Structure 1
Amino acid sequence: MARKPPARAAAKTAACRTPLLEWIMAGLGLVLLLGAIGVILADALAADGEPPTLSVERLGATRTPAGWVVEFRARNASQRPAAEVQVTGVLSAGGAEVERRSATLDYLPGGGDRRGGLLFRNDPAAGELELSAEGYRAP
């Protein structure tokens, strides 16, 4: 004669089953975790060995009570980031340097850009203004 499990044991077994929604959420969490690891690995492997490729472009000049503000955009064309990027602006007239100003950008990500401004006492339109990235530090 076969024994039947007590009713209490059957109820306990049914209550211990993991709900389907819980399995779905666990699977979704695993997919997100593996995706994040994949993105980090792909970014690390794609970083090229060349140094940051920095350029600076002038956006415009605005008159202020203290002088002129020349706004610029610094770009990094490589995938390697740069820290403490030194941007210099040299205002010259007739071949002679009139003013030299510089600004430091804390961080310039790979493939990214940052904006800033240089403060001049003289009108930048009255001479030639050359903007350049002078140096950086590896982060």
Structure 2
Amino acid sequence: MATKRAPARKAAQGGKKQGDANAVSGGRHPVEWAVGALSGVLVLVLLAYLAWSAFAAGDAPPRFRTTVERVAAVDDGFHALVAVANTGDGTAADVAVAGMLSAGGDEETGGFRIDYLPAGSTRRGTLVFKRDPRQGELRIAITGYSEP
């Protein structure tokens, strides 16, 4: 006597394998939840930082600090490498830098321009003199700038 067999389990499970329990239940792997949560936290932190930086930025104009980094003797005289730092909140464009060298009763001037100087940044330029700036008094001044 032949008996009838019950339908195969594969058909009852919708064609899924026994080991694929997450696909059957529709759940997510814990690693997916962890990565999703971490990504969400990072996005919120980034948005909070951007909002803070937009509202906390001051309205102070650019402030400049100049430093002579080195003086080098060259064929046509002396080159003084000058660093100009913008320590203010505003951005400056077309910054005019002038150097006045007093040595032995004579005065000599030099200058350069910086195209763009954002807040919190430093740019460098070179002043060219016939006499050695280390042997006299070198004064550096910012003589003007424009708002970009």
Runs of 5+ unmatched residues, structure 2: 1-10
Aligned CA distance change for structure 1 residues 34 and 48 (closer, same or farther; 3 Å): same
The yes-or-no answer on 1:14 pairing with 2:48 is no
Contact 2:64 2:85 in 1 (8 A): yes
Task: Pick the aligned partner of 2:68 from 36, 48, 58.
Answer: 58
Q: Distance in 2 between matches of 1:30 and 1:69?
A: 53
How far does the alpha carbon of each residue in 1:25-58 deviate from its partner, in whole angstroms, 9 at most, with x for none? 1221122222222222222212211211112122
Where does the alignment leave 5 or more consecutive residues of structure 1 unmatched? none
Please name the residue that 2:50 is paired with.
Answer: 40
Structure showing greater relative contact order (alpha-carbon pairs closer than 8 Å, 6 or more residues apart): 1
Contact 1:55 1:132 in 2 (8 A): no
Shift of residue 10 of structure 1?
Answer: 7.2
Aligned position for 2:3: none
Query: Which of residues 120, 125, 128 is equivalent to 1:119?
Result: 128
Distance (Å, rounded) in 2 between the aligned partners of 1:82 and 1:29: 37
Q: CA RMSD in A?
A: 2.7
Q: Does 1:82 align with 2:92?
A: yes
Aligned-pair CA distance for 1:124: 2.0
The aligned counterpart of 1:103 is 112
The answer on 1:71 being equivalent to 2:81 is yes
> How many Å separate the matches in 1 of 2:29 and 2:146?
54
- Alpha-carbon contact 2:22-2:28 (below 8 Å) kept: no
Normalising by structure 1, we get a TM-score of 0.76
Larger gyration radius, structure 1 or structure 2: 2
Total equivalences in the alignment: 134
